[in-house]
């Protein structure tokens, strides 16, 4: 069969899949949510055993001489930047897609650890309302947001720095997506008996200060205007933190950005993301951006705004994006684009776009695809690019 004929049949298949999605219920299914609990409960129990013994580790536990910030300032370095072989004292040079293992990542790892702990404890609390889980989570939250000896300052001025070039960059704001499940865990745990209103005032104040910084500082402005996964992740984190701080103005801003910037600016007519496909890790980046898009739909949809069913006049929508990517998740050998230069073998895993898409459209095949994938990846790069690791805390409690 000629290659152009194959392409026509492939995209016709995507079109049919999108019609099937569109024809199904858009209300989250109680049955699927309950099934999600059955799938995830064993993994939650494993993580709880670890989380209940973990002591807080914040940004103050380690530091780098290359950081221009202080003890309480988050610091990270650009992943794809390496020493110049011509001179050790020269500014770093870029090798796109190739992670430098010697860059400083301690603060990022500490934030990921914090996120995993909070997500596990909140998941456990959601299952059986055990107050010990809530009390342990608040111990960690106080260390990061309240304790003057260990707290993190609410900004990312020094994220993804490059030696000899930048002390920090707007692109580094993407590191903050690791706090998504922290803020969501705090939403879940606020109903616990261990929750203290005076502490929640301080927790929310921390996130309010961060939101003010990320929506006004030049780095935030640079990142919010990015027409790739960085722009999506700016909106995703702002949406999640605005939900926790109950900032309706920012929530509405994020809804408009999804409709007027992310869909028209990033998605092609076939549902793909061309800017992600152009990278040296097109498969991983496509999955990552689709996860972020799906989370925007999940976080921002309400009775007045259903982003799951929103479509542009040319039919571009989250449904089309899922229909494009799902065949490659079910069978990666069908991937017709370049293979990723790193971590090709580590993807896919149990991606958020699958489970939340399945719930939004009551789509059993999508759920089955998610159910049969890896729910406990151990590769650090995969964990880092999978900030939504605990779907239970994102479902309404009465659905489980």
Average pLDDT rounded to a whole number, residues 108-129? 97
CA dihedral 31, 35, 37, 39 (to 10 degrees): -170
- DSSP summary character for residue 4: H
Which region holds residue 93: left if phi is over 0, alpha if psi is between -120 and 50, else beta? beta
Could you tell me if 173 and 236 are in contact, meaning their C-beta atoms sit under 8 angstroms apart? no
* Residue 110, both tokens: 């500490």
pLDDT score recorded for residue 87 = 78
Cα(365)–Cα(371) distance, rounded to whole angstroms?
10
- Strand 81-82, strand 93-94: pairing: antiparallel
CA distances, 149 to each of 71, 141, 146, 157, 175 (Å): 9, 13, 9, 20, 22
Task: Please report the domains of the chain, with CATH numbers, ordered by start residue.
Answer: 12-399 (1.50.10.100)
CB 216 within 8 A of CB 155: no
Residues with Cβ within 8 Å of 105's Cβ and at least 6 positions away in sequence, in order, are 76, 77
CA distances, 96 to each of 42, 274, 281, 348 (Å): 38, 17, 9, 21
Question: Is the per-residue pLDDT at 280 higher than 80?
Answer: yes
Strand partners, 82: 93
Tell me what pLDDT residue 102 has: 83
Task: Report which of residues 10 and 390 the model is more confident about.
Answer: 390
Span 320-345, average pLDDT: 97
Strands 158-161 and 75-77: parallel
Predicted pLDDT of residue 30: 65
Q: Which residues pair with 77 in a beta bridge?
A: 161
| Mean pLDDT, the chain, integer | 91
Over residues 165-191, the mean pLDDT reads 96
pTM exceeds cut of 0.75: yes
pLDDT of residue 78: 84
How is residue 99 written in tokens? 């992670």
pLDDT tens, position by position, 27-78: 445 677 788 999 999 999 999 999 999 999 999 999 999 999 999 999 998 8
Check: CB of residue 392 under 8 Å from CB of residue 127: yes
Give me the pLDDT at residue 86, please.
79
CA distance 384 to 23: 35
pLDDT at 187 exceeding the cut of 60: yes
Please state, in angstroms and rounded to a whole number, the distance separating the CA atoms of residues 113 and 108: 9
């Amino acid at each position: 069969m000629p290659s152009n004929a194959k392409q026509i049949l492939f995209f016709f298949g995507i079109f049919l899949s999108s019609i099937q999605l569109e024809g199904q219920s858009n209300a989250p299914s109680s049955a699927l949510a309950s099934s999600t609990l059955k799938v995830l409960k064993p993994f939650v129990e494993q993580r709880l055993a670890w989380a209940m013994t973990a002591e807080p580790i914040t940004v103050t536990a380690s530091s780098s001489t290359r950081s221009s910030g202080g003890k309480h300032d988050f610091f990270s370095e650009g992943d794809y930047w390496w020493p110049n072989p011509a001179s050790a004292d020269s500014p770093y040079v870029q090798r796109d897609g190739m992670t430098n293992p010697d860059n400083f990542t301690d603060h990022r790892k500490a934030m990921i650890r914090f996120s995993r702990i909070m997500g596990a404890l909140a998941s456990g609390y959601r299952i059986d309302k055990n107050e010990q889980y809530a009390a342990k989570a608040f111990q960690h939250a106080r260390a990061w947001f309240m304790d003057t000896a260990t707290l993190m300052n609410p900004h990312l001025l020094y994220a993804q720095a490059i030696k000899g070039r930048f002390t920090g960059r707007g692109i580094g704001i993407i590191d903050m997506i690791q706090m998504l499940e922290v803020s969501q865990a705090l939403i879940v745990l606020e109903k616990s008996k261990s929750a203290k209103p005076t502490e929640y005032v301080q927790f929310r104040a921390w996130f309010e200060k961060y939101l003010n910084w990320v929506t006004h500082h030049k780095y935030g402005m640079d990142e919010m205007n990015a027409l790739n996964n960085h722009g999506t992740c700016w909106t995703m984190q702002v949406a999640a933190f605005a939900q926790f701080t109950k900032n309706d103005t920012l929530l509405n801003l994020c809804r408009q950005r999804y409709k007027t910037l992310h869909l028209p600016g990033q998605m092609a007519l076939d549902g793909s993301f061309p800017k992600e496909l152009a990278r040296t890790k097109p498969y991983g980046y496509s999955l990552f951006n689709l996860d972020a898009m799906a989370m925007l739909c999940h976080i921002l949809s309400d009775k007045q705004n259903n982003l799951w069913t929103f479509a542009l006049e040319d039919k571009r929508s989250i449904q089309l994006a899922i229909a494009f990517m799902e065949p490659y998740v079910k069978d990666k050998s069908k991937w017709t684009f370049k293979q990723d230069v790193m971590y090709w073998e580590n993807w896919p895993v149990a991606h958020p776009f699958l489970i939340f898409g399945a719930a939004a459209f009551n789509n059993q095949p999508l759920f089955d695809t998610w159910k049969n994938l890896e729910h406990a990846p151990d590769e650090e790069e995969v964990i880092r690019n999978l900030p939504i690791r605990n779907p239970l805390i994102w479902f309404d409690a009465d659905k489980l």
